[in-house]
Structure 1
Amino acid sequence: MPGRRYRTLILPFLISILASPSFAAASVEYIGTFVWSLSEDDFGGFSGIEIADDGNSFHVISDRARIRWGMIERDSSGRIRNMRMAGRAHLQDSAGTALLPGRLGDSEGLAIAPDGTIWVSFEGLDRVARYDDVDRPATRIDIPDAWQSIPTNEGFEALAITADGTLLTLPEYAIGEQTSFPVWRYANGSWDQPFSLPGSEKWQAVGADIGPDGKFYLLERNFRGLLGFQSRVRRFTFSDDGFSDEEPILESNTLQYDNLEGISVWDDGQGIRITMISDDNFLAIQRTELVEYRILN
């Protein structure tokens, strides 16, 4: 969900929703946008997505502690034509109680390990939980004391996992005089914060993934009040020494897309593809979009 720093702008409306996004560094190709809707009360609010390596199956998580999964139907050009549900679950806490929307049930980030373990990051009560089975209670993961001071609704929307099972997460807002995102790492059963990423007051971190190239992809949002949302994607080389080689991938224009919050990066056989999903905040004026681009170099 958008954070507390909404800005209501008084500038005239200058940017057309049909304008093309601006790009830098990487060469990308727009694949398409699919609007997904179901007539179910708990459908919407999607803040995390994982696409399988073959691009044909998915998991999505909403910010009301609901997870769904299924198959993706694509046309001959690889564009999404339908999202076919196969199952869903209401996430539980470690005691087996179904999580309610709000402080305890604000699930935001989704990461799936190579062995199928599902990890979910939460805002409100900022934490990360492990699910070996989404129909069973969560496995509680101890959190660092520093997380207690994170302001409400500024927690961990972005969550990624490396090939060796290391988790990486960062809060929604950059902090400090240098406006950097502190990046937390979970490995060998404990958390530390050895890394940071350059940020700005303009952009909030809302999604992350490790691509098939081993690089770290960060989805960010800029909420512009009445002018709507902007999105951008940056990627970084990641190693035990931290992040380097920052590379802008794309930056959308205002109102070009809805509130993109989740990102999954995979290889479609022709290049690395980025699939993003929007959080409609359960509002009739917004919609659930899946937006896809292919990185050509």
Structure 2
Amino acid sequence: MRLSRRGVLAGLGSLALPRAAQAVEQNRFPVAIEARPITAFEPRSPDRRRFGALQFRGGLVLSCGHPRFGGFSGLWRSSDGRDLVAITDRGYWLTAKVVSRNGRPAALEDAAMAAILGASGRPLARSRSFDTESLAIAGGVAYVGVERTHEVLRFDWAGKGVDARARAVPVPSEVRRLPRNRGLEAIGVVPAGPLAGTVVAVAERSGREDEPTLGVILKPGRPGLFEVARHDGYDITDLAFLPSGDMLLLERWYKPWRGVGMRIRRIAGRDLKAGTLLDGPYLIEANLGYEIDNMEGMSVHLDQGRTILTLISDDNFSFIQRTLLLEFELPDGMQS
């Protein structure tokens, strides 16, 4: 057979394809996750289900022997709650299927992890942008907030999933001046109202102890800044939107060897505007007398019309902390 230069190059290219495909496949690796049920949010009152404005549905203590597992700081669940995506604060994705029994989370199946890839295809874990702290997925796009470098990155989640490469989202100069380890811990996409489809992010803490923290509305061409009131030394660790457009803020107080606290605040969607100071009522508050840890990620989805809040904790890769996945229901009367 006569070989042309084009034929030789095509042949070499076909030989390279399996290796390239294998390299992509190797970015995703399966992990075996053990899940121990949490049946009582308050161990001292095992029959109690109502906590503040929320109903406890159940939870899991998650464990895994892989060294990349842990440090979960951002969380998303699909509209039906079946698919779960989380990110670690060391630049890795976790994907899994949530198994529920009798209305409670029971296990995670088909779990896998993968490096979050930068624009060049190099893992963010090997760059200055390793500290991925917040996650939202909407319209087939994943948005990730990066602390320390104070970036917002977007990924073609619908098209490429964990193999998508980062693209930078422009942010105002005020975001770049946030404290080094107090950056964009919370991110979400507005589902309804005048800002529908707009990315919103909030810094963990941009000022002193109880000073308001910075928030940003990343509307293309018209970004806007706002502030969120802070109380009692709590920091903002995540946000999620209710279908109505109201914003929920997950807050955390944590000091090693001293304790941890968690609470969730509700902000009226109509108040989310540039130049405003946002505040609102608390739906729940808990301390170490309850089944919590360093709660850092939150998502909202619907289960047969019921509004479900899911929380995940960051164990800081410490043997004295736990990775918890908790589910709460927002009663019908609280949804509007």
| TM-score, normalising length: structure 2 | 0.75
Q: Provide the rounded CA distance (Å) in 2 between the counterparts of 1:176 and 1:254.
A: 25
Which residue of structure 1 lines up, in the alignment, with residue 200 of structure 2? 168
Deviations 1:183-202 (A, max 9, x none): 10111255321x22221351
Matched, 1:128 2:152: yes
Q: Provide the rounded CA distance (Å) in 2 between the counterparts of 1:178 and 1:112.
A: 30
Larger relative helix fraction:
2
Question: Percent sequence identity over matched residues?
Answer: 30
Structure 1 residue 148 displacement after superposition: 2.9
Matched, 1:232 2:263: yes
Which residue of structure 1 lines up, in the alignment, with residue 14 of structure 2? none
Structure 1 residue 286 displacement after superposition: 1.0
Q: Provide the rounded CA distance (Å) in 1 between the counterparts of 2:179 and 2:135.
A: 21
Structure 1 residue 95 displacement after superposition: 2.3
Match of 1:117 among 141, 154, 179: 141
Q: Provide the rounded CA distance (Å) in 2 between the counterparts of 1:89 and 1:224.
A: 30
Instruction: Count how many residue pairs are aligned between Structure 1 and Structure 2.
Output: 277
Structure 1 residue 58 displacement after superposition: 0.8
Structure 1 residue 206 displacement after superposition: 0.3
Structure 1 residue 241 displacement after superposition: 5.3
- The letter for the 2-side match of 1:155 is G
**CA 1:218–1:240: 2 relative to 1, 3 Å:** closer
Matched, 1:215 2:246: yes
**CA 1:250–1:174: 2 relative to 1, 3 Å:** farther
Give the RMSD, CA atoms, in angstroms. 2.5
Matched, 1:96 2:121: yes
Matched, 1:184 2:209: no
Aligned pairs (5 A) from 1:120-159: 120-132=144-156, 133=160, 134-159=162-187
Matched, 1:73 2:107: no
Q: Provide the rounded CA distance (Å) in 2 between the counterparts of 1:42 and 1:177.
A: 32
Q: Do the aligned partners of 2:72 and 2:314 also contact (CA within 8 Å) in 1?
A: yes
Q: Provide the rounded CA distance (Å) in 2 between the counterparts of 1:34 and 1:111.
A: 22
Matched, 1:30 2:49: no
> What are structure 1's unaligned runs of at least 5 residues?
1-16
Matched, 1:260 2:295: yes
Q: Provide the rounded CA distance (Å) in 1 between the counterparts of 2:311 and 2:127.
A: 24
Larger relative contact order (Cα-Cα within 8 Å, sequence gap ≥ 6): 1
Match of 2:83 among 57, 62, 67: 57
Deviations 1:116-137 (A, max 9, x none): 1001000011100010133132
| TM-score, normalising length: structure 1 | 0.85
Matched, 1:105 2:130: yes
> What are structure 2's unaligned runs of at least 5 residues?
1-41
1:92 alignment partner, SS class: coil
Q: Do the aligned partners of 1:75 and 1:81 also contact (CA within 8 Å) in 2?
A: yes
Q: Provide the rounded CA distance (Å) in 2 between the counterparts of 1:221 and 1:177.
A: 13
- The letter for the 1-side match of 2:307 is I
